[in-house]
């Protein structure tokens, strides 16, 4: 049974964006050619990796049959990369994990990972097999410790790069072995997202998680705390921001948002940032359908705007509506922390009714 691996981060983003919306009603190269190039250039076998019978033209649909077991975890990695891990695989008398990383449909990295107690002799046996198969390493960055760990060897061949590492953890039963095969950059498909001027960044409402993972080039961070969205680091109008794509129960994109991560000591600086974003949105989408600054406390009139914002006395919100989207720019303070959020939501989205237990 497949499960999705993720780092659960930014638990407040989803809540904040929902709050803002509720404030008002408003391809790849031929792998046969790659294999042929490797064999011709180096004379090494390319039909399989030392720890797997896969080849560079193995598809993700073929992995379970090849490993003769179900995928343990599937992980979105950003920049078009998606990996499939198989636990409890055997290689050279070690039980570890095989991981296959694809960009689109192209397999470009295959890794064996072991962690646990390990005698140095077993590492030496793997190194001997690597040297027998691929000759002497191209680069040796090893810095050996007394227990024989600290090994770092690399083979840079015509059409494949191989890295072997044997390192020691904080305890004797926490040694780590990593053996990775990677295609060179020239053989990894380039992703062109320049034509995707979507409803939210490169995303069109209804896009799948795979589509967003493939085209978004901002730095991938993980998933939102409730696993409902993909989180990236990037910028909007020159401001550093967390970028979140949200998906419904059918894993279709229906909402997105920016959480500005710039840090200022004065509330007035946040107001400047808010107004800059507001003016840029007006330039793109026209006059907002609503534009409000609301006092939540009568104390707001007794202090300056920056302090009133910082103390939670005021909240700001602007809304726009396009043919496809509701757009909300909002700013508020929670526990003396100012949050500046820009959210986009599918104008035509209707959530499915909860029929659980009926």
pLDDT in tens, 73-96: 999 998 899 999 999 999 999 999
The encoded tokens of residue 39 equal 């064999």
What is the DSSP code string of 84-138?
EEEEEEEETTEEEEEEEEEETTEEEEEEEEEEE---HHHHHHHHHHHHHHH-S-S
Residue 148 within a domain: yes
Domain boundary among 141, 158, 187: 187
Q: Which of 51-55, 62-66, 185-189, 338-342 has the lowest mean pLDDT?
A: 185-189
What average pLDDT does the chain have? 86
Q: Are 112 and 170 part of one and the same domain?
A: yes
- Looking at the structure, do residues 162 and 216 belong to the same domain, yes or no? no
Judgement on whether residues 320 and 210 belong to the same structural domain of the protein: yes
pLDDT for residue 173? 66
| Whether residue 295 sits in one domain with residue 198 | yes
Same domain, 205 and 263: yes
Alpha helices, DSSP H, located in 227-355: 267-285, 305-310
Would the pLDDT of 3 be above 60?
A: no
220 and 313 fall within a common domain: yes
Residue 252 lies in a domain: yes
- Bridge partners, 81 (sequence order): 78, 103
Residues 219 and 152 in one domain: no
Q: Which domain CATH number covers 53?
A: 3.40.1000
9 found inside a domain:
yes
Confidence of residue 355 (pLDDT cuts 50, 70, 90): low
In a domain, 114, yes or no: yes
**Domains of the chain: total:** 2
- Residue 34: predicted pLDDT: 43
* 171 and 100 part of one domain: yes
Instruction: Answer whether residue 93 is part of any domain.
Output: yes
Q: Is there a single domain that holds both residue 124 and residue 221?
A: no
Instruction: Let me know whether 148 and 13 are in one domain.
Output: no
pLDDT tens, 91-114?
Answer: 999 999 999 999 989 999 999 999
pLDDT at 300: 84
Do the domain assignments include residue 357?
no
Q: Percentage of the chain surpassing pLDDT 70? A: 84
The confidence score (pLDDT) of residue 47 equals 52
Does 190 have pLDDT greater than 70?
yes
Domain membership of residue 36 (yes or no) is yes
User: pLDDT tens for residues 296-343?
Assistant: 888 988 899 989 998 999 999 999 999 999 999 999 998 889 999 999
- Give 140-174 pLDDT, tens digit per residue: 999 988 778 899 999 999 889 999 999 987 655 68
Give the domain-ending residue among 187, 204, 239.
Answer: 187
Residue 354: what pLDDT?
65
Cα–Cα distance between 172 and 270 in angstroms, integer? Answer: 50
Residue 25 in this model has a pLDDT that exceeds 50: no
What is the Cβ-side half-sphere exposure of residue 279, based on CA atoms within 13 angstroms?
Answer: 5
Residue 33 has pLDDT above 50, yes or no: no
What is the predicted pLDDT for the residue at 13? Answer: 52
Domain that holds residue 42: 31-187
Give me the mean pLDDT over the 248-272 stretch. Answer: 95
Instruction: Judge if 15 and 84 occupy the same domain.
Output: no
Choosing from 129, 163, 187, the residue where a domain stops is 187
Based on the fold, state whether residues 245 and 326 are members of the same structural domain.
yes
pLDDT of residue 189: 87
- The reply to whether 60 falls in a domain is yes
Q: Is the dihedral of CA 58, 103, 136, 87 positive or negative?
A: negative
Q: Between the CA of residue 77 and those of 8, 57, 212, 222, 291, what are the distances in Å?
A: 14, 20, 11, 8, 38
Assess whether pLDDT exceeds 70 at residue 29.
no
Q: Is the pLDDT at 206 greater than 70, yes or no? A: yes
């Amino acid at each position: 049974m497949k499960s999705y691996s993720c780092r659960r981060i930014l638990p407040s983003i989803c809540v904040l964006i929902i709050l803002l919306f509720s404030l008002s009603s408003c391809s790849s190269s031929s792998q046969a050619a790659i294999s042929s190039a490797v064999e011709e250039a180096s004379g090494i076998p390319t039909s399989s990796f030392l720890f797997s019978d896969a080849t560079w033209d193995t598809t993700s649909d073929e992995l379970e049959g090849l490993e003769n077991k179900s995928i343990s975890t599937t992980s979105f990695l950003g920049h078009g990369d998606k990996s499939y891990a198989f636990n409890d695989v055997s290689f050279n008398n070690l039980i570890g994990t095989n991981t296959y990383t694809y960009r689109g449909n192209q397999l470009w990295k295959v890794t064996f990972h072991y962690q646990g107690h390990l005698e140095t002799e077993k590492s030496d046996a793997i190194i001997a097999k690597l040297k027998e198969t691929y000759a002497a390493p191209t680069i040796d960055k090893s810095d050996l410790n007394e227990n024989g760990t600290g090994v770092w060897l690399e083979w840079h061949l015509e059409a494949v790069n191989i890295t072997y590492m044997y390192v020691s953890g904080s305890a004797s039963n926490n040694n780590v072995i990593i053996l990775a095969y990677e295609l060179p950059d020239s053989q990894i498909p380039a992703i062109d997202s320049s034509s995707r001027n979507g409803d939210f960044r490169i995303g069109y409402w209804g896009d799948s998680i795979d589509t967003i993972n493939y085209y978004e080039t901002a730095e991938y961070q993980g998933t939102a705390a409730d696993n409902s969205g993909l989180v990236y680091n990037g910028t909007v109008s020159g401001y550093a921001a967390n970028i979140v794509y949200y998906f419904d129960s059918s894993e279709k994109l229906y909402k997105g948002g920016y959480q500005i991560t710039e840090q200022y000591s004065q509330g007035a600086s946040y107001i400047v940032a808010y107004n800059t974003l507001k003016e840029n949105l007006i330039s793109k989408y026209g006059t907002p359908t609503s534009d409000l600054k609301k006092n939540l406390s009568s104390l707001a009139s007794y202090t300056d705007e920056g302090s009133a914002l910082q103390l939670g006395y005021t909240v700001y919100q602007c809304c726009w509506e396009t043919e496809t989207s509701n757009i909300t720019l909002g700013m508020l303070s929670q526990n003396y922390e100012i949050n500046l959020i820009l959210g986009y939501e599918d104008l035509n989205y209707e959530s499915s009714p909860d029929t659980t237990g009926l």
